[in-house]
């Protein structure tokens, strides 16, 4: 059926529009397709990485159960190198740090904590790594270690860990025999703990002991 004049005019306009903008339209569609393909590929890669990391973490857990320290630490190292973007890498580093510390290797323990404190993708693991690293640095207590601990504790506390940040700052002051400043930090931590009901009772008892030691009053 032949087109009437109005329809023919619309067809001609559409052809003219396509001739003028086809490169732009094709480019936009191509970019969109590549973006979708990239996103799909990234999601597949993330799933694949997580699955592989999970298997390696299970190997680490089995090694812990068998008391194989070398295999445990090697699995943690592999998780850092191969699957550093997954939560398993930070989780394994925290575990490896404890195992290294229990074995008397404080330096290696802190290396694991430094890695997690820098690379953990999960905020909870990031906070735990920073707090545990600060605690070990304070315990060692050299000027260099106290400076590193101070740098960590000077960062903005990770949400949900404000009380522990204040408590660790109190530990930092106490290590330098700054009793008044330690008391202020412990009191701040106690108030924050009372505002954060999800913290376990053990955390409150430990903080209470520290607070009593510097002459503070829990309220």
Query: How many other CB atoms sit within 10 Å of the CB of residue 152?
Result: 21
- Inform me whether the pLDDT recorded for 1 exceeds 50: no
pLDDT at 40 over 50: no
Q: What is the DSSP letter of 159?
A: T
Going along the chain from its start, the domains and CATH numbers come out as 5-129 (1.25.40), 156-219 (1.20.58)
* pLDDT single digits (tens) 189-217: 998 887 766 667 778 888 888 888 888 76
For residue 42, the Cα-to-chain-centroid distance in whole angstroms is 20
Token pair 């906070």 in the structure block, residue:
127
Distances (CA, A) of 60 to 64, 68, 81, 86, 113: 6, 9, 15, 15, 17
Q: Which is more confident, 51 or 128? A: 128
The answer to whether the beta carbons of residues 184 and 174 sit under 8 Å apart is no
Q: What is the largest CA-CA distance in the chain?
A: 99
92-151 residue pLDDT tens: 899 899 999 989 999 999 999 999 999 998 899 999 999 999 999 999 999 999 999 999
């Amino acid at each position: 059926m032949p087109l009437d004049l109005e329809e023919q005019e619309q067809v001609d306009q559409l052809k003219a529009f396509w001739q003028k903008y086809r490169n732009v339209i094709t480019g936009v569609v191509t970019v969109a397709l590549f973006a979708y393909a990239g996103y799909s590929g990234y999601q597949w890669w993330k799933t694949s990485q997580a699955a592989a990391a999970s298997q390696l973490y299970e190997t680490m857990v089995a090694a812990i159960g068998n008391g194989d320290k070398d295999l445990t630490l090697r699995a943690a190292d592999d998780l850092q190198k191969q699957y550093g973007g997954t939560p398993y890498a930070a989780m394994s580093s925290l575990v490896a740090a404890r195992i290294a510390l229990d074995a008397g290797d404080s330096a290696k323990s802190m290396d694991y904590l430094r890695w997690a404190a820098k690379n953990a993708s999960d905020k909870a693991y990031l906070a735990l790594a920073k707090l545990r690293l600060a605690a070990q640095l304070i315990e060692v207590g050299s000027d260099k270690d106290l400076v590193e601990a101070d740098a960590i504790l000077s960062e903005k506390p990770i949400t949900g860990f404000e009380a522990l940040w204040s408590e660790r700052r109190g530990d930092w002051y106490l290590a330098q025999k700054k009793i008044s400043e330690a008391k202020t930090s412990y009191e701040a931590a106690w108030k924050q703990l009372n505002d954060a009901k999800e913290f376990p009772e053990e955390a409150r008892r430990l903080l209470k002991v520290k607070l009593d030691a510097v002459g503070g009053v829990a309220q």
